[in-house]
Chains A and B, each alone.
Chain A
Amino acid sequence: MATTYEPIATTTLASTAATYTFSSIPATYTDLVMVATLSSSGTTYSGIRFNGDTASNYSLTDIYGTGTGAVSSRQANITGGGSGDTSGTGTVLIYQINNYSNTTTYKTTISRNGSPSTNAVASACLWRSTAAINSVTIYTGTADSWAVGSTFTLYGIKAA
């Protein structure tokens, strides 16, 4: 049986960084899964962009729990998708990017982010483009950076 869920690329930060990009993503899978383990000494709000697009072609709906309540927010026409507050040590961030290489539909991602020191977040993000995704950029969205040892891994899933 062919492997249908396999790693495409992974990195562990050897120096602090405020952005990380997976580039030259092959179109040979059906879905992508991006997994990051993040640490920061300051405040980071992790965002996501595709194919280097920094225009206002993104929007999101999210829900997050802060420990004292649960709230939801919406943003339209923004310059990147988002997954909320990833501040602190040991945040796990997972993006599901389904049907990323089709050239017919806009791309919708769903993500979950668990930050032990701040909150739990789930988010749906829309990128209004029918282009196949060939690069994924994760960025902090603040002046702070991720710490050495933070990891980023991209997986591909191939359907029958």
Chain B
Amino acid sequence: MSPILGARGGLAASAYGFTSSVAAGDYQSISTVTVGSGGAASVTFSSIPGTYKHLQIRGIMRSSRATFGNGGSNYQFNGDTGNNYSWHSINGDGSSATARNATTTYRIATNSNAESGASANTFGTIVFDILDYANTNKYKTTRALAGVDINGTVAGYGGIIELVSGNWRSTSAITSITIAADNPNYVQYTSFALYGIK
């Protein structure tokens, strides 16, 4: 769904072996939230217009849990904190490749924040896609690529790279997105930007 599959310098998408086409201006910035010096347990994008086809969140994250090198971010929609989510992931932690999942849960979980055990200035990063977010006839599916590296290990924890799929069992159009640090706050300079794709 990335617009990079569309137009590029006058070349049609088919020149890259893709069949979709995205015109200039079809990928638009909606809002950006950057955490200030006091930190924040979560950030929320609200009043998201239903005028796009897909949404994409791009971010850098660091959370304040001591000791550990990496930690989680939880995604919820429309303020729904019920057990209406599920997710699967495959991830590499530098030692092994593993798969995780949760069903009937309250979040879509990712695990790529840098945490306080990592060197100062180290942040994780994510690209989180929400497909067909305004459709009122089907549940919502997400996917993400996220990762963090901390140049070795801290307390036995190193970096992580993960691919995550998620599902929110609601036919409601998504009008707000809340991203919460699992443990316990995002620190200053954590930033998430929301984009709409037509």
Contact = CB atoms under 8 A, between A and B. Distances in A.
Interface of A: 1-7, 10, 30-31, 33, 35, 37, 59-65, 70-74, 76-77, 94, 96, 98-99, 102, 104-106, 108-110, 112, 122-126, 128, 130, 153, 155, 157-160
Contacts of A71: 92, 96-97
A105 B189 contact: yes
13 contacts: A59-B149, A62-B161, A73-B94, A99-B191, A105-B60, A108-B122, A108-B123, A124-B124, A124-B159, A126-B151, A153-B8, A159-B32, A160-B29
Contacts of B59: 98
Interface size range on B against A? 35 or more
Given A5-B27, A10-B8, A61-B160, A72 B58 contact: no
Contacts of B102: none
What DSSP secondary structure best describes chain A's contact surface? strand
Interface of B: 2-4, 8-9, 16, 24-25, 27-32, 58-60, 62, 90-97, 112, 114, 119, 121-127, 145-153, 158-163, 189, 191, 193, 195
Contacts, number: 174
Nearest to A10: B9
Contacts of B96: 71-72
A126 B150 contact: yes
Nearest to A69: B97
Contacts of B3: 5
A71 B92 CA distance: 7
A94 B58 CA distance: 15
Contact of B119 (A37, A106, A112, A155): A106
